[in-house]
Amino acid sequence: MVFESYCELQEIIMKKRVLSGMRPTGRLHLGNYLGAAKGMLELQNNPEYETYFTVVDIHATTTPYDAKTLRQSARDVYIDYLSVGLDPEKSGITIQSDLADLITQLSFYFSSVESVARMQDLPTFKEKVRQHPHNVTMALLNYPLLMAADILIYKASLVPVGIDQEPHLEVAREVARRMNDRFGMDFPEPKRFSTKAEYVPSLLGEGKMSKTVEGSAIDLNDDLDTILKKLSKAPTDSGQGEVVPTTGGVANLFQFVELFQGSPKRAEYESQYTGNGVRYGDLKKELAQAIFEELRPIQEKRKELELDPEFVDRMILEGAEKSRIIAEGTVREVREKMGLR
Ligand code: TRP
């Protein structure tokens, strides 16, 4: 390879690898978009990083799931990835099971350097055992090693995920260290990485926006009418008071205003609140419009993609082929170093 300049060579050597994954638990909503997907986009478009994104469908099999819908759910999240602007030209975008042979293989090798007791002691494992006491499977126990394989197969050093995933990243670092010490691998110790993710509250006034809580989320494909209907159910108060609420429905509404209409608009409503009063009907109408404007381009892109399923299939296949080259290299190296053929 010939490099135009020393700078270009440096840029290629220095690029930090990023990997992030999402479980295929249905289409994305506004919370996933502002909380995760927008951060992924920023990383993808920043030349300092080499980015990989994956829809982790094998992880879905570690807890009870519907085999009839999994394939479609994974494809749906993949299309959502493309709709929000993840670009197969710039990032390696995969559905995990397209590389099942390599990723599950690597996770098995990782299981030789990790103890059963350590896996059983993880808070995420214990919680799943409480949720599904009759489904404490080997796959569930192995979940963190599968995740470590997702990350380390690309030798990624940065993983943009929520704080709840920190225990899993600790396992990934432990595995990386042991593979390096025992077998002379050169895995990085991957760190959790926070993007400028926004905390997106539930429409209902408590907790964060979630798919599983009825009425709490705006979906990426909601039209203006649906958004307005959902907003109209968001709890409010009389619209007036001495101090602006910092928790509950009104606080959340003001937070939405800030996210979609900016902080000056929020300040305006806040001074109405301590002054003549806020008219929530008008606020919600304007807010619905602003949210819809943000979603419109994503929805248009999605429509385009839905009209061309062959294109989507090709993107999924090419994404897998591109990522496979790197994944194969890592697995080959691990096998050699572990004394396997
Ligand atoms: N465990 C992650 C979650 O529940 C999903 C996941 C699997 C993941 N593999 C990953 C996230 C690799 C980041 C990188 O959200």
In the chain, what are the domain boundaries?
Answer: 6-198+309-337, 224-302
Q: Is 63 in the pocket of ligand 1 (CB under 6 A)?
A: no
Between the CA of 144 and the centroid of ligand 1 the distance, in Å, is 9
Asked if residue 159 has its Cβ within 6 Å of ligand 1, the reply is: yes
Q: Distance between CA atoms of 19 and 160, rounded to whole angstroms? A: 7
For residue 55, the Cα-to-chain-centroid distance in whole angstroms is 9
2 φ, ψ to 5°? -110, 130
Classify residue 156 as left (phi > 0), alpha (psi -120 to 50) or beta: beta
> Which residues are CB-contacts of 85 (< 8 A; sequence separation ≥ 6)?
41, 44, 301
Phi-psi region of 21 (alpha: psi -120 to 50; beta: other; left: phi over 0): beta
Query: pLDDT over 70 for what percent of the chain?
Result: 96
> What are the pLDDT digits (tens) for 225-243?
999 999 999 999 999 999 9
The atom of ligand 1 lying closest to the CA of 96 is 9
In tens, the pLDDT along 142-187 reads: 999 999 999 999 999 999 888 889 999 999 999 999 999 999 999 9
Contact present, 291 and 227 (Cβ < 8 Å): yes
Instruction: Tell me the C-alpha distance between 322 and 220, whole Å.
Output: 28
- 3-class DSSP state for residue 178? helix
The terminus-to-terminus CA distance of the chain in angstroms comes to: 30
Task: Write out pLDDT tens, residues 186-227.
Answer: 999 999 987 766 788 899 888 888 877 788 899 999 999 999
- 6-198+309-337, what's its fold? Rossmann fold (3.40.50)
Q: What is the CATH number of domain 224-302?
A: 1.10.240.10
Q: Ligand 1 test: best mutation among 147, 166, 170, most atoms within 8 Å of CB?
A: 147
State the pTM of this model. 0.88
Tell me the best of 165, 193, 208 to mutate to test the pocket of ligand 1, counting ligand atoms within 8 Å of each CB and taking the most.
165
CA distance 145 to 122: 12
Q: Which atom of ligand 1 is nearest to the CA of 150?
A: 12
Ligand 1 binding pocket includes 150 (Cβ within 6 Å): yes
Identical topology for domains 6-198+309-337 and 224-302: no
115-133 b/e (C-beta count within 10 Å ≥ 16 → b) = eeeebeebebbeebeeeee
Q: Is 20 in the pocket of ligand 1 (CB under 6 A)?
A: yes
Query: Which is higher by pLDDT, 250 or 9?
Result: 250
- Does ligand 1 come within 6 angstroms of the Cβ of 17? no
- For residues 143 and 59, the answer to whether their CB atoms sit within 8 Å is yes
> What distance in angstroms lies between residue 328's CA and the mean position of ligand 1's atoms?
21
Distance 248 CA to ligand 1 centre (A): 30
Could you tell which of 93, 150, 157, 194 is best to mutate to test the pocket of ligand 1, judged by most ligand atoms within 8 Å of the CB? 150
